[in-house]
Amino acid sequence: MPNSEKTEIVRDKGPEARPLDTFDRTILGELAVDAGLSYAELGSRVGLSAPAVHERVKRLRATGRIRGTVAVLDGPATGKPFLAFVHVDTTGGSKSRTFRALAELPELEEIHSVAGDTCTLLKVRCASSRALEGLLARLYAMPGIKATRSYVVLSTYLERTPQAGITEALEEPPMDEAPR
């Protein structure tokens, strides 16, 4: 199972990283689904030896393609069966201070600044609707919070971390008005 750091630090290449060949993308695809694979198994799936995939995974970590490996907890099974998305309207003000305070709560899973009819989108997972109420109360106690609109999740059909695959077909020009 691909270990975190532990190997000597490989200098972060930053933006000068190469463009991800097929091997890399296959490795990423496998690890995004199950990071508990042995290098031998991973190697046989992508068609490389264990040391070779080890080298590539090390590089994928060093270049920031892999941010880390985590255990995925089950919300309901760990006491937080209640999931909601909260749109927030804010008036100007120091959003980063507010966000930092929110991020302290383990109930907050995502905080995005979005374009649309609201400013901010939160993903909240908590124990009950009462806990959401408590969270909203805290929200309104913060400066610059104008309004919220909550979407309570009734059932979840899919929930996963970023995947490696890219559907090329989505990029095709939608209209046939010859770009040039």
Partner DNA sequence: TGATTGCTCCGAACGTGATTCCTTTCTTCA
Partner DNA sequence: TGAAGAAAGGAATCACGTTCGGAGCAATCA
CB neighbour list of residue 74: distance below 8 Å, 6 or more residues apart: none
C-beta closer to its own copies: residue 6 or 91? 6
Q: How far is CA 28 from CA 52, 59, 166, in A?
A: 14, 12, 12
C-beta closer to DNA: residue 7 or 163? 7
Shortest Å, Cβ 56 to DNA: 6
Q: How far is CA 104 from CA 2, 62, 85, 95, 107, in A?
A: 29, 27, 17, 14, 9
Shortest Å, Cβ 15 to DNA: 16
From DNA, its own copies, none, interface partner of 91 (C-beta below 5 to 8 A by class):
none
Q: Tell which residue, 19, 23, 18, has the closest CA to residue 48.
A: 23
Cα within 13 Å of Cα(7), Cβ side: 13
Shortest Å, Cβ 29 to its own copies: 8
From DNA, its own copies, none, interface partner of 153 (C-beta below 5 to 8 A by class):
its own copies
Please give the residue ranges that form the binding site for DNA (CB under 7 A).
1-3, 6-8, 18, 23, 37-40, 43, 47-52, 54-56
The tokens for 142 are 């913060």
Shortest Å, Cβ 119 to its own copies: 9
Pair 3, 39: CB distance under 8 Å: no
From DNA, its own copies, none, interface partner of 9 (C-beta below 5 to 8 A by class):
none
C-beta closer to DNA: residue 19 or 92? 19
From its own copies, DNA, none, interface partner of 49 (C-beta below 5 to 8 A by class):
DNA
132's enclosing H/E stretch is helix 129-141
Shortest Å, Cβ 157 to its own copies: 4
From its own copies, DNA, none, interface partner of 147 (C-beta below 5 to 8 A by class):
none
Pair 37, 2: CB distance under 8 Å: yes
